[in-house]
Amino acid sequence: MATALEEQWTLPTCHSLSFDDRLGLLLDRKLAWRDNKRLERLRKHAKLNYAGACLEDLDRRPGRGLDERQLATLASGDWIRQQHNLLLTGPTGVGKTWLACALGNQACRQGYSTLYLRTPRLLEQLRIAHGDGSLSRTLQQLAKVDVLILDDWALAPLEDNARHDLLEVIDDRAGSRSTVLTSQLPVDHWHGWINDPTVADALLDRLVHSAYRIVMKGEPLRRKKTEEEAAS
């Protein structure tokens, strides 16, 4: 506000404004500054793999399995307000992680706390937390995140402890927070990947119920970009 006031002193056009108008401009500047600082903080804490990903830059070419109406719904943030999950599946390289990060950025813009983690890294953190006694605190921190993005879901076989750790994470968030999963493995195969009928039923019931689903298709984006650069 002090900076904005100094600017008003140097602008002749502001001298003719009333006290209320000038005060309103100062307050607008203060609110904008606060919002920008909050956005910077949310983006920093999100640790997105693609920090610059945004929906405005999304490749919407046909054949990618993207529905414009569904994307508009996701961009609005209604799914976060309704505590719904999002399941992004498809072969490697089609842009699942990029889209997840773009939606994470959109969530930050709307004031929601966001965190990106690769699932293998999360499981390693939970394994360490078991050993140093910080598991309860770690689970509480994960439960408070408005949008948790778990990349590379179902990438490697699960150990018994890992199954139960994932169930704890998802159970704490079910019905109160939103979770985004990206996976090369189709959702129909997740039960077999978990490899424990009881845990699988409980985990998938919390994840899949009322979740948005996007099955991405097409050629790997890196290959397509290389081909386009070669053609040009």
Residue 141 and residue 110 share a domain: yes
In this structure, what is the dihedral angle of CA atoms 186, 189, 195, 198, given to the nearest 10 degrees? 100
- Quick check: is 176 in a domain? yes
Residue 56 and residue 15 share a domain: no
Residue 28 and residue 120 share a domain: no
What confidence score (pLDDT) does residue 3 get? 73
What confidence score (pLDDT) does residue 209 get? 87
The kind and range of the H/E element at 106 are: helix 96-109
Considering its fold, how many domains does the chain have in total?
Answer: 2
Rounded distance, CA 200 to CA 188, Å?
Answer: 12
What confidence score (pLDDT) does residue 2 get? 73
Which residue range is the domain that position 55 belongs to?
47-219
What confidence score (pLDDT) does residue 8 get? 62
Rounded distance, CA 232 to CA 222, Å?
Answer: 15
- The most confident of the ranges 6-20, 54-68, 83-97 is 83-97
Residue 139 and residue 27 share a domain: no
Alpha helices in 150-189 (DSSP H): 160-173
Q: Is the model's pLDDT at 18 over the cut of 90?
A: no
What confidence score (pLDDT) does residue 14 get? 67
Residue 171 and residue 134 share a domain: yes
- Quick check: is 226 in a domain? no
Residue 33 and residue 51 share a domain: no
Q: pLDDT category, 36, cuts 50, 70, 90?
A: confident
Residue 191: give its domain's CATH number: 3.40.50.300
Q: pLDDT category, 13, cuts 50, 70, 90?
A: low
- Quick check: is 225 in a domain? no
Q: Is the model's pLDDT at 140 over the cut of 90?
A: yes
Residue 105 and residue 72 share a domain: yes
Residue 126 and residue 102 share a domain: yes
What confidence score (pLDDT) does residue 208 get? 95
The kind and range of the H/E element at 193 are: helix 190-194
Residue 61 and residue 35 share a domain: no
- Quick check: is 82 in a domain? yes
Residue 193 and residue 97 share a domain: yes
- Quick check: is 224 in a domain? no
What confidence score (pLDDT) does residue 37 get? 85
- Quick check: is 10 in a domain? yes
Indicate the burial class of 36 (C-beta count within 10 angstroms; 0-12, 13-18, 19 or more).
exposed
Average pLDDT of the chain, as a whole number = 89
What confidence score (pLDDT) does residue 23 get? 67
Q: What token pair was written down for 34? A: 């606060």
Q: What is the mean pLDDT of residues 192-221?
A: 93
The partner residues of 151 in beta bridges, in order of sequence, read 118
**Between 29 and 118, where is the model more confident?**
118
